[in-house]
Structure 1
């Protein structure tokens, strides 16, 4: 004993500079076990405190492990605890990072289906479970668990990249068998699961072993097992929380999937290195357990089996809850990748907090199985409460957490976290308590920490794996969300009550079976009696004004069918997880019809066509009107097919019965990757490019796959929406254009439209007019297009809004979205008005609209065609301008613009739906208000419409009536101020705005209007302050920049005005008057080239002012471009032939062009209109003199002197002319 103490003393003093290993071996005969113990020392002078109790041994040269007390396995300092805790935190961080990115990677290989994702997650969890069980079973035999942890982390770093580097090999393996095993077959999913398991097994197996190994390292006393395991489990889970949060919110968007994996590998290597260092500095190896045990001891122990069963059921229920909560909350949080990140982060946060909290008190408790029973009962009870909260979350969301266009991206995610916390935190907090509590029970009985933790971890993880699989793939589809939730609740309650009653059931297997039989019967009864529509209200949260008429809670999501409540407009909509994918509104029918027709009309005769996404089936019906041989439709959800057949047969015509129709239930992107077929046309029927469900179909990788599967001359088309944020809209176009250099963007000017069809090819696209006219003569095609008011080839050509050049100019320097860095899916744009985004994108589109004559081919030899084409081009531009004005809220001006456009093409019905829509708006808004008389919002919508149609007197009466009914609310005061401002009652408007801002200081619109009112009242400094405050609250308010620029222009601050005008135009391109103002500022600064740019954009966007043309002409004059100056002055004269100044300046231009006779005629016209300007007479006289007619010149001067006898200019010219005559 003294010899051993001397050894430790030498090590502490650092007397052994070479830090050699000293081995002490004990060899015993007979029944004594043969073991070896190794004590290590470090080279550092200070060695961490080591406390071991060594029993007396008769022979000090032989120290058996039996002499080492198992009561204290290891006691490290507080610093050591913190150091190892930090390493385990990083380990948890990388673990969740791997899980998130691996699921994405395997989704690209196996398909983005729920079954494929479930297979990958199951393989991940099974690997973790096996690692926990097998490594944990050996953890107690380790000499140095900390060093073993370092080796585990090093192994993870080495094996984790296998998932990334094996992707090409996996695709090579799957490609040839894809044709033999359909992608959605169980054989295919079995193979995918096996491949995922094999590839992930090395890394996940090692990950699973980290918890039992560190539990062995840090749990020093069996009395402190609960605290040690709880803290470790909590730290690791907290690392997972941060890993999930940063991966979902930052890393994938900023670094990409591959770089995120490399970051995790780097962190694993860092953790391994630090763990090795800590092990070396600790200066000792951990003592192993006292006695050798036979294998299977845990399974043989009744208490261990019972607790393992409880934790397996608890894990099953926990992951089942996660699936259900995620499926329901997506309707509130929207179909966004950030919504899923928020839910998973909140789930893990609750578990981490519960584990920490549980660790603080578990070791002080007695009768631990009963406490575990109460925890399980509490989980079931709080899960029931969260179910009630979920059922009513729709109302809570609208009342407490309203989302409006002013909500920022951070605010929206804060709301998501808050609502997820309300639903999830209590149950997950209790789940976090259960694991260290159960671990303490087993450790207290068996005194084998590592093996016990690994054993429990295995059953808990396998239970969770089965819960996730069965809930998502079986229970939800079979019983629905509500019944499944109750089954899970009963699972927790059942095992909790069983633990509480265990003393009554102990020793009787028959009683235990009887008890669980009763629980199962209760579950079966519950499935039958729980109302199926408990959560149907929340399924309608994104479809305000539409009631749910049918839904399917299926494997690939919740598919819902909604119908409008308005008697005059019975539109139906088809949604998947809250995302609208199709419907029967005129806008959606227009899109669905054109998506089927346009690719066929652009391509020419096609044989083999592929459509990704079925929707209502209307697109398929339209496509099959052409003589194609086969239409293959790849739809990810069987429920979409069934509900479309049931509720949308009126627009799809039972298309699935067509013998040429082939349906494949699979992920369209994955199908296209592996199919050996090539197609004439591929139609991408995804819609919202930033939604999780659609974003993968808008990446460059997918577009490349589509291009590779097209036959020569093939056409690719995709559905898009214009109500994306302008930056995201540009990213879609840039990504598309990087693959398809030739493209056209179609948008029908036949309704209030936000839907476009983007068509691309690797070869130049020309629209074959003869082919299009031939197809339009076919009755089926003609009738189908007539249903959306398209009756001629000119109507179709009017839908072209961009060509390849325009697509390139709009996308500019935008980023490209890829599978590795899916920036569209991870868009961080704030919640914005869909109408505002549609307005901004349409404005940019119209700026680059091409001349239609450059896009057509094979046209008839008739001048009438070209004349008609020009008429339709001009008319459609007016219709689009009317749509822009409508989005700006100027309803009356929009109607006037639309009417102007329709008069150009009286034979067309393109504008018909606009007017029908306008007629229906008042009736619809009135109906909404009458149906909800106690709600202010419907009345505000009607009031805004009255203001937009300039019915100010009616609007004022409405304001007064609503104020009497609802009181002075901020929004109502704001609308009343708008009315008074329109009536030029500025003081009243100012007073109402001040009251509104007292009630709601963050109302940015009120600050803006206050600034405008103060500007009109001449209070420029106050106006500046108000407008700047509005911009602080909402930096996207381009109108405020315009108002500031107006103040600066009036005060001669042209350079400052230019800055504000440019910011406004960056936010909203389609502002003709603002472009004109920008040109005016540059003109005032004599920067004529920039002035020309401003004036020309204003003209292109429809500003038709004679003064604008004249200013543009003057700019060209100073740039010495006299030909264009003459052209624009003639245009100004065309619009205002009584303006003498235009004729006078035209004369000046013509003189510079050398056309003196025309110049003299222009001067004479100017004098005929006005004799008030002596320079008119002077320039005409000089023109005559230059022509050699000095007599006429003198006569003009004398005539001028009659009107301006004091003119020095004319007197000087007269002397000059007379001198020249002499």
Structure 2
């Protein structure tokens, strides 16, 4: 029976990630794919997970048949998913109306994106979050030893999520499209519902007791759990920020990164379940996990600096085809970076549940609290890293800040004074690296810059990406996330002029002009010569504006001052 429960929980993770990919893509079609839009929709999705886990965990003991309740929740998710396209259509109309008639300020737009996403996604994500503590409540009571199966359950659900991401990204959507893929996930929900209703509904629970681990830090542990989630998703934002220069910004590259993250987390949880009985001091183990995570994250910066060589090494292996060469070199190259830190993150989650557990407390309540607080930390890590930290201090310094938090957590968790000395000593060189390590170095190590070895004359990060100005043999080049947006080479210079001349030559006495994408400002200067009363420029990157106004005045002739 336990094996059958594992299969159902695997399918839960599988269907949940199918929904996450499809629904967030649908919302991005409505709101756009700017960084604030992506962050707003992702936070809305994860907020439901956090609330659901916390609430269902708190009341998990009230459900006498948690497996049947779990199945009903999956069925409700499936029913909601069947009608969700109608909600997306309503959301599209509501967002357009709000933008045109209420306010089009950036703050209001971002808030409304979050609010609409939250309203649409709350019910299904709330139920998704609630499935974890209910399954923990049922399985742990059946197996009588709290914590023994937690790692296995979390791992199997995470591996289901991995297969959901992999199959959706590389097979289901390309082959069948969004609508059919959504129906496929709905069938999985109904399979879980009927299986729970006809097979698991009669299972009754028994109450067992065991010896729990006691620690004087237990009352502070919610804070520790929060910051563990904060750093885990903070790292994920940073990884994607840097890897985009190596893998590109397409959906397949992002899918590869997410697959690697889920594999590491899932296997880490499985390893915990295997060695559960041998872990006599889970608090000490967690302290060392956080310390090792800090060590490897520091080493990871070195790997990023040499990531181009790592990709070349994997690509030089005898693959059967060019497609295999690209796919596997990116997959295994990314695994080199991400497997160990995500494996450690996978270990840490069941460890925190074991430490946080209190005698006679319901397993579902413990799992719900830990999962809910950890997910809230993940939400905060995504928001503050992507919206505040990176634009203010840059990607590299944010990396060092996350490592600092890992060291601080290790210092707080470890009880032995000699062991505490290790993270304490590491604080000082880390502070030095924070101030002296060049911010642009981690980006300029990408192959597109490393091979050409051109002179960099400008570097600035903002919320949209890393903007780099490069002096090449045929002129200057302005690039964001490795993609050229402007330049002064003869062909680019001519194109930018023609982009302004051609449309306006066919317009009689234009009064209002909309120019999308500033670039170097050459097109804008051309447009300004036609006597339009107003020229509106739409540019999502503040760094592009700053660099263009400073280094490309010979192209735009300070048209910004007009």
Q: Whose RCO is larger (CA < 8 A, sep 6+)? A: 2
Whether the 8 Å contact between 2:21 and 2:165 is mirrored in structure 1 is: yes
What is the Cα deviation at residue 179 of structure 1?
Answer: 4.0
1:409 and 2:323 are equivalent in the alignment? yes
What is the Cα deviation at residue 152 of structure 1?
Answer: 1.2
1:190 and 2:111 are equivalent in the alignment? yes
Whether the 8 Å contact between 1:143 and 1:287 is mirrored in structure 2 is: no
Q: What is the CA–CA distance in structure 2 between the aligned matches of 1:222 and 1:189, rounded to whole Å?
A: 46
Q: What is the CA–CA distance in structure 1 between the aligned matches of 2:299 and 2:424, rounded to whole Å?
A: 26
**1:363-512 correspondence to structure 2 within 5 Å:** 363-398=277-312, 401=315, 408-443=322-357, 445-501=359-415
SS in 2 for 1:582: strand
Equivalent position of 2:547 in the other structure: 643
1:551 and 2:455 are equivalent in the alignment? no
Whether the 8 Å contact between 1:135 and 1:209 is mirrored in structure 2 is: yes
Deviations 1:150-175 (A, max 9, x none): 01101211233564322232232222
RMSD across aligned positions (CA): 2.9
Equivalent position of 1:561 in the other structure: 469
Pick from 129, 132, 149: which aligns with 1:211? Answer: 132
Q: How many residue pairs end up in the alignment?
A: 554
What is the Cα deviation at residue 249 of structure 1?
Answer: 1.5
What is the Cα deviation at residue 453 of structure 1?
Answer: 0.4
1:538 and 2:445 are equivalent in the alignment? yes
With over 3 angstroms needed to count, the CA separation of the structure-2 counterparts of 1:189 and 1:353, relative to structure 1, is same
What is the Cα deviation at residue 489 of structure 1?
Answer: 1.1
1:250 and 2:157 are equivalent in the alignment? no
What is the Cα deviation at residue 557 of structure 1?
Answer: 1.3
What is the Cα deviation at residue 623 of structure 1?
Answer: 2.2
Deviations 1:729-759 (A, max 9, x none): xxxxxxxxxxxxxxxxxxxxxxxxxxxxxxx
Whether the 8 Å contact between 1:140 and 1:288 is mirrored in structure 2 is: no
**1:22-33 correspondence to structure 2 within 5 Å:** none
SS in 1 for 2:193: helix
1:598 and 2:502 are equivalent in the alignment? yes
Equivalent position of 1:273 in the other structure: 194
Higher helix share: 2
Pick from 594, 604, 614: which aligns with 2:518? Answer: 614
Whether the 8 Å contact between 1:479 and 1:527 is mirrored in structure 2 is: no
1:316 and 2:230 are equivalent in the alignment? yes
SS in 1 for 2:518: coil
Whether the 8 Å contact between 1:181 and 1:188 is mirrored in structure 2 is: no
Q: What is the CA–CA distance in structure 1 between the aligned matches of 2:427 and 2:24, rounded to whole Å?
A: 34
Q: What is the CA–CA distance in structure 2 between the aligned matches of 1:148 and 1:549, rounded to whole Å?
A: 61
What is the Cα deviation at residue 589 of structure 1?
Answer: 1.4
SS in 1 for 2:357: helix
What is the Cα deviation at residue 254 of structure 1?
Answer: 2.5
With over 3 angstroms needed to count, the CA separation of the structure-2 counterparts of 1:251 and 1:655, relative to structure 1, is farther
What is the Cα deviation at residue 492 of structure 1?
Answer: 1.2
Pick from 276, 284, 288: which aligns with 2:203? Answer: 284
Q: Which has the larger radius of gyration?
A: 1
With over 3 angstroms needed to count, the CA separation of the structure-2 counterparts of 1:192 and 1:304, relative to structure 1, is farther
Q: What is the CA–CA distance in structure 2 between the aligned matches of 1:495 and 1:131, rounded to whole Å?
A: 27
Whether the 8 Å contact between 2:57 and 2:366 is mirrored in structure 1 is: yes
**1:70-149 correspondence to structure 2 within 5 Å:** 80-149=1-70
What is the Cα deviation at residue 551 of structure 1?
Answer: 1.8
Pick from 330, 333, 338: which aligns with 2:244? Answer: 330
Equivalent position of 1:863 in the other structure: none
Equivalent position of 1:1150 in the other structure: none
Pick from 66, 81, 86: which aligns with 1:160? Answer: 81
What is the Cα deviation at residue 542 of structure 1?
Answer: 5.2
SS in 2 for 1:561: strand
With over 3 angstroms needed to count, the CA separation of the structure-2 counterparts of 1:539 and 1:607, relative to structure 1, is farther
With over 3 angstroms needed to count, the CA separation of the structure-2 counterparts of 1:181 and 1:559, relative to structure 1, is farther
With over 3 angstroms needed to count, the CA separation of the structure-2 counterparts of 1:574 and 1:407, relative to structure 1, is farther
What is the Cα deviation at residue 540 of structure 1?
Answer: 6.0
What is the Cα deviation at residue 519 of structure 1?
Answer: 10
Equivalent position of 2:212 in the other structure: none
With over 3 angstroms needed to count, the CA separation of the structure-2 counterparts of 1:161 and 1:639, relative to structure 1, is farther
Q: What is the CA–CA distance in structure 1 between the aligned matches of 2:99 and 2:547, rounded to whole Å?
A: 28
Q: What is the CA–CA distance in structure 2 between the aligned matches of 1:223 and 1:187, rounded to whole Å?
A: 51
**1:632-1031 correspondence to structure 2 within 5 Å:** 632-658=536-562
Unaligned runs of 5+ in 1: 1-79, 291-300, 506-511, 659-1222
Moved more, 363-372 or 214-223: 214-223
Q: What is the CA–CA distance in structure 2 between the aligned matches of 1:521 and 1:459, rounded to whole Å?
A: 30
Whether the 8 Å contact between 1:359 and 1:433 is mirrored in structure 2 is: no
Q: What is the CA–CA distance in structure 2 between the aligned matches of 1:583 and 1:273, rounded to whole Å?
A: 60
**1:42-57 correspondence to structure 2 within 5 Å:** none
Whether the 8 Å contact between 1:372 and 1:499 is mirrored in structure 2 is: yes
Q: What is the CA–CA distance in structure 2 between the aligned matches of 1:235 and 1:611, rounded to whole Å?
A: 50
Whether the 8 Å contact between 2:282 and 2:355 is mirrored in structure 1 is: yes
Q: What is the CA–CA distance in structure 2 between the aligned matches of 1:302 and 1:136, rounded to whole Å?
A: 24
What is the Cα deviation at residue 322 of structure 1?
Answer: 0.7
Equivalent position of 1:341 in the other structure: 255
SS in 2 for 1:383: helix
Equivalent position of 1:202 in the other structure: 123
With over 3 angstroms needed to count, the CA separation of the structure-2 counterparts of 1:102 and 1:162, relative to structure 1, is same
Q: What is the CA–CA distance in structure 1 between the aligned matches of 2:428 and 2:51, rounded to whole Å?
A: 33
Whether the 8 Å contact between 1:141 and 1:289 is mirrored in structure 2 is: no
SS in 1 for 2:485: strand
Q: What is the CA–CA distance in structure 2 between the aligned matches of 1:581 and 1:425, rounded to whole Å?
A: 34
What is the Cα deviation at residue 497 of structure 1?
Answer: 2.3
Equivalent position of 2:491 in the other structure: 587
What is the Cα deviation at residue 207 of structure 1?
Answer: 0.4
What is the Cα deviation at residue 440 of structure 1?
Answer: 1.9
Deviations 1:181-239 (A, max 9, x none): 66552222122212211221101110001111111111247774333111110111001
What is the Cα deviation at residue 321 of structure 1?
Answer: 0.8
Whether the 8 Å contact between 1:582 and 1:615 is mirrored in structure 2 is: yes
Q: What is the CA–CA distance in structure 1 between the aligned matches of 2:372 and 2:392, rounded to whole Å?
A: 28
Deviations 1:1048-1093 (A, max 9, x none): xxxxxxxxxxxxxxxxxxxxxxxxxxxxxxxxxxxxxxxxxxxxxx
Unaligned runs of 5+ in 2: 210-214
With over 3 angstroms needed to count, the CA separation of the structure-2 counterparts of 1:227 and 1:387, relative to structure 1, is farther
With over 3 angstroms needed to count, the CA separation of the structure-2 counterparts of 1:309 and 1:411, relative to structure 1, is same
Whether the 8 Å contact between 2:512 and 2:534 is mirrored in structure 1 is: yes
Q: What is the CA–CA distance in structure 1 between the aligned matches of 2:124 and 2:330, rounded to whole Å?
A: 33
Q: What is the CA–CA distance in structure 2 between the aligned matches of 1:161 and 1:552, rounded to whole Å?
A: 45
What is the Cα deviation at residue 610 of structure 1?
Answer: 2.0
Deviations 1:1157-1182 (A, max 9, x none): xxxxxxxxxxxxxxxxxxxxxxxxxx
SS in 2 for 1:227: coil
